[in-house]
Amino acid sequence: MIRLCDEHAIRTFPTACEGTKFLDDGVKVRSYKGKVPSVSIAQLAELQVSLMRLERICDKLPLRFDDPRAAPLDGDTVASWRARMLVSQGARDLFDVAVRTVFGAEPAELSALWFAHYLRTGGGLAAHIDTPGGAQQDRIVGGAQPIAEALARPLGERVRLSTPVRAIEQSSDGVTVHTDGGALRGARCVVCVPPATAQRIAFTPALPGARDLAMQRMPMGATVKFFARYERAFWRERGCSGEYVATKGPASMAIDNTARDGSWPSLLMFIVGRDAYGWSARDVETRRRAVLSQVARALGDEVMRPVEVVEQDWAEEPWTRGCPVGNALPGVLTALGAPLRDPVGRVHWAGTETADAWTGYMEGAVQSGERAAREVLSALLDGASEVA
């Protein structure tokens, strides 16, 4: 992603993280600075030992899901693994909120093998949740959209927007993609949408059973983004970073979302996992009051007076049906996971779920796209008689 930004002269800037942070266990709000949350020494030691054990598991993880050594881990949920590794409720609660935020899912819903694979591709759990030196370190000036626009610009009208794909038909000499805007013909096709979304496309001939079953068993995570914009970044004036972590919902986390130049002073709250289920079915004012009053416990009453609130419930989006990633249920990867990246005839598969570096992130999406492009190029060079 950094390479793409550099190639297209798109700037990044560091995520705001300086100042006092808060941890809310539903009973008491504690303040802290740096990376270490305000919990007891015993709980910190417990978490540190469990993270070290988790790193050892990741280091020994087989590279292929069909390796027999992967089966025991795939038979576990993250919740059962956590129950064995962590004793105190406080440590378990902190672990759970980290899992919900990263995956948009509850620990009981995740295969422990998927969890370990996901963490290994990004350098461990700490790398996924840390700001300096971690996945949350940098933001893109203008948001992520400028990257997509820069990539699309040279292609001009060949990029079709608002053109949903309904069916993909393969034959011996090419692929026909049926869309709401008509049919498109090519030698090869790359499907980049999440497995749960791809499963809604009609394929002719039908996909192999293992591939289809795998897609059925990788539901999307549940994530709602709740933006609250203010006249000024009052939390910064008080020496606070804007970061707030809660082990009891509805919001699991809040961060400073102010633009690089200080405009659009805002906080971004995440409602994830079970707290996001059916979120948009609730009354608008009830949702707003629940989130703002919760974060106000740490940052003060001014949180209750935003000039604008914007919600994005990704489960309500018809072309994603969730966020941030499709997650493998227990038992899926060892039984069905091998075909996730394997081409099916002339249909190739990309998308961040298929990445082997930073799975679940934009980084993984780009890596998977480059891998799929190499596959297609190799196939075209090997079959010069194919339809261009």
Judge if 302 and 268 occupy the same domain.
yes
CATH number, domain of 233, equals 3.90.660.10
Judge if 78 and 125 occupy the same domain.
yes
281 falls within a domain: yes
11 close to 141: Cβ distance less than 8 angstroms: yes
pLDDT at residue 58, as a whole number: 81
pLDDT at residue 338, as a whole number: 63
The span from the CA of 59 to the CA of 382, in Å, is 36
pLDDT of residue 42 exceeding 90: no
112 falls within a domain: yes
Measuring CA to CA, how many Å separate 64 from each of 73, 343, 351? 13, 16, 18
30 falls within a domain: no
Strands 20-24 and 240-246, by their bridges, are: parallel
Confidence of residue 92 (pLDDT cuts 50, 70, 90): very high
Judge if 159 and 301 occupy the same domain.
no
CATH number, domain of 336, equals 3.50.50.60
The span from the CA of 201 to the CA of 160, in Å, is 17
Average pLDDT, the chain: 92
Q: Which of 316, 346, 365 is where one domain is finished?
A: 316
Judge if 231 and 295 occupy the same domain.
yes
pLDDT at residue 365, as a whole number: 96
Judged by DSSP in three states, 234 sits in: helix
Bond before 250 cis per omega within 30 degrees: yes
CATH number, domain of 100, equals 1.10.405.10
Domain count, the chain: 3
194 falls within a domain: yes
pLDDT in tens, 217-259: 999 999 999 999 999 999 999 999 999 999 998 999 999 999 9
Judge if 153 and 212 occupy the same domain.
yes
329 falls within a domain: yes
Judge if 311 and 226 occupy the same domain.
yes
Judge if 88 and 44 occupy the same domain.
yes
pLDDT at residue 38, as a whole number: 66
What's the rounded mean pLDDT across residues 14-18?
91
pLDDT in tens, 93-121: 999 999 999 999 999 999 999 999 999 99
Closest CA relative to residue 253, chosen from 237, 272, 239: 272
The span from the CA of 90 to the CA of 92, in Å, is 5
Judge if 76 and 96 occupy the same domain.
yes
pLDDT at residue 133, as a whole number: 87
Q: How far apart are the first and last CA of the chain?
A: 30
Q: Which of 129, 158, 173 is where one domain is finished?
A: 129
pLDDT at residue 351, as a whole number: 96
Confidence of residue 125 (pLDDT cuts 50, 70, 90): confident
| pTM above threshold 0.85 | yes
Judge if 113 and 228 occupy the same domain.
no
pLDDT at residue 169, as a whole number: 98
296 close to 303: Cβ distance less than 8 angstroms: yes
Judge if 339 and 362 occupy the same domain.
yes
Judge if 196 and 226 occupy the same domain.
no
134 falls within a domain: no
Domain, as residue range, for 250: 222-316
Q: Give kind and range of the element (H or E) at residue 369.
A: helix 362-382
What are the structure tokens assigned to 156, written together? Answer: 């001009």
Judged by DSSP in three states, 207 sits in: coil
241 close to 285: Cβ distance less than 8 angstroms: no
pLDDT in tens, 294-315: 999 999 999 999 999 999 999 9
